[in-house]
Structure 1
Amino acid sequence: MLELRTDRLLLRPFAPEDEDALFGLWNDPYVRRYLWDDRLVSREEVREQIALSERDFRERGYGGFVLSLVDWPGALIGFCGLRRIEGREDVELLYGLYRDFWGRGLATEAARAVLRFGFERVGLKDIYARADLANAASIRVMERLGMSPHAPPTVTYRLRRSDFAP
């Protein structure tokens, strides 16, 4: 089974048994505020996202990962992954953590591992990340990753493989 590991995190692909954990994460008011435009996410949508990620891993080599701490491997603390931007061929980076884990550099650490995976193992040429202008924390993550602004009205950042520094 595919697993990514950093100094502090374990990342493994979404699986059907993650439905309850992802449902809880994506409906957390602090997580859904920017990720889901502050709307509640149904169990059906969670199942669809898991199935989409599984299909993307089979067909494209990338998808979503659940995150847990190395020293607390059974508990989901967030997610990070890659998916195709709807209606385009471009790939975007997504991430979200429970609020208790904010401010520790974990989103940046997870995102860096997923970017490395996307560039080095999947062979992607560009990876985008988007955030609402009010989501200053996500914008800081993108900047720490070396991404640069790309296009309004949301904040869109891009990183080229040639500029990626693991």
Structure 2
Amino acid sequence: MSPIPLQPNFHSDRIEYIPISDQDCDELLALLHHPIFNKYLCDNRDLERAFVEAMIRDRNALFAGKGIGLWLLKHRYEQSVPGFCGFYKNEVLEIVYVSHPDFQGKGLATECALRVIGYLQQGNQPEPFFAKIDLPNIASHKIARKIGMQEVCMEINSVTGGKMLVYQFNAKRSVDG
């Protein structure tokens, strides 16, 4: 069976997944400045617009090269942007899922993570990916386990000096995305 061609825009029951673009810089910056995301995702650094613009360029290069990247999440039934989700690559491919506190506890991050994993698995060469989660970020640990990731080691966050658990998803495992 030949792989399904990847389409950068797709949807789930509640969410439209739209590849991040330059026009999304302000929305991403606002999400990243939220105290919860600033603490766990940005390591308490006040990110500037230039950083987010560079992040968008890097993610767009990942889309061009591998057909994957970060998607802005737009609620299909409300006029809201509850977060973003997808993959980025440093040394290894990593998954990230960010939902605004107004949308937490409703299964949204789990739904979105499973959907982008399903999308990744439709590609020609699905590969293993990781999640690096600060130890105190209990909600993200729960989601990592719900989506089938396995804890593989602990690392020290090079910015904060805090502990992070590293999870891996086996590319051979299939999800219904």
Same fold (TM over 0.5): yes
Alignment partner, residue 107 of structure 2: 105
Alignment partner, residue 4 of structure 2: none
1:164 aligns to what SS in structure 2?
A: coil
Range with bigger deviation, 12-21 or 124-133: 124-133
Structure 2: stretches of 5+ with no match in the other structure: 1-6, 156-163
1:81 maps to a residue whose letter is G
Tell me the alpha carbon deviations over residues 4-58 of structure 1, each in whole angstroms, 9 at most, x when there is no partner: 2111111110011101101100111122110001221100011011111111101
Contact 1:148 1:159 in 2 (8 A): yes
The 4+ residue runs of structure 1 with deviation greater than 6 A are none
Alignment partner, residue 39 of structure 2: 33
Q: CA deviation at 1:128?
A: 0.8
Aligned equivalents of 1:125 and 1:20: distance in 2?
31
Aligned equivalents of 2:139 and 2:102: distance in 1?
14
2:122 aligns to what SS in structure 1?
A: helix
Matched, 1:150 2:155: no
Q: CA deviation at 1:129?
A: 1.0
Matched, 1:123 2:128: no
Matched, 1:79 2:84: yes
Tell me the alpha carbon deviations over residues 43-101 of structure 1, each in whole angstroms, 9 at most, x when there is no partner: 001101111111110112211100111112x53210001111x2x2x211011111111
RMSD: 1.3
Contact 2:117 2:175 in 1 (8 A): no
Aligned equivalents of 1:140 and 1:55: distance in 2?
30
Matched, 1:138 2:140: yes
Structure showing greater Rg: 2
Alignment partner, residue 95 of structure 2: 93
Matched, 1:22 2:28: yes
Q: Percent identity?
A: 27
Q: 1:21 to 1:122 in 2, by over 3 A?
A: farther
Tell me the alpha carbon deviations over residues 82-137 of structure 1, each in whole angstroms, 9 at most, x when there is no partner: 111x2x2x211011111111101100111111111112225222111110111110
Aligned equivalents of 1:43 and 1:122: distance in 2?
34
Aligned equivalents of 1:78 and 1:15: distance in 2?
14
Matched, 1:65 2:71: yes
Q: TM-score, normalised by structure 1?
A: 0.92
Q: CA deviation at 1:2?
A: 2.2
